[in-house]
Amino acid sequence: MTKKVLLAIVVSLTLFGCNDDEKKEKDLLRQIIEIHNKVMNDDEDVINNTAQLKSISANSQDAFVKDSVLYYVKSLTSADSVMMKWMGRFNPDFKGKNHEQIMGYLTIQEQEILKVDSQVSSSLDASNTFIAKVKGK
């Protein structure tokens, strides 16, 4: 009788443990997707800023302004490229993987997408400041 109770407890703990593991995996994946979605929303601003910068360059004779525009366009283009590369490598197909492998992969992906978010945000902030300064003249 004791063996049956112990077996039932072990089976129950295993089932509940799996559910908890799956929840952790889903929660971390959800966080990654939320960060990705934020960066994708920022991508529209990257496109808009790039267009504004090119317009500023086309309408300016100032060499400093033209050089600055090139710098900010390269920064925005690089940030966009990093995002596209991350998206191309991200693969949430976990068939045949155990919980530790899945969590390890997702943890690395979360760190990478946070770096992408930081790069996109800093490029946008810097280009926004420059655009505002030039337009304010």
pLDDT at 132 over 80: yes
* pLDDT tier for residue 18 given thresholds of 50, 70 and 90: low
- Based on C-alpha coordinates, what's the Rg of the chain? 24
Confidence of residue 125 (pLDDT cuts 50, 70, 90): very high
Question: What average pLDDT score do residues 110-114 get?
Answer: 96
- 3 state SS for 28-97: HHHHHHHHHHHHHHHHHHHHHHHHHHHHHHHCCCCHHHHHHHHHHHHHHHHHHHHHHHHHHHCCCCCCCC
Q: Residue 83 carries which side chain, given as an amino acid letter?
A: M
- Asked if the model's pLDDT at residue 16 lies above 80, the reply is no
Cα 102–Cα 103–Cα 107 angle in degrees, nearest 5: 120
Query: Please, what is the average pLDDT of the chain?
Result: 87
**What's the mean pLDDT in 2-10?**
45
Residue 9 pLDDT > 50: no
The pLDDT value recorded for residue 81 is 95
What is the predicted pLDDT for the residue at 137? 66
48-95 pLDDT, tens digit per residue, is 999 999 999 999 999 999 999 999 999 999 999 999 999 999 998 889
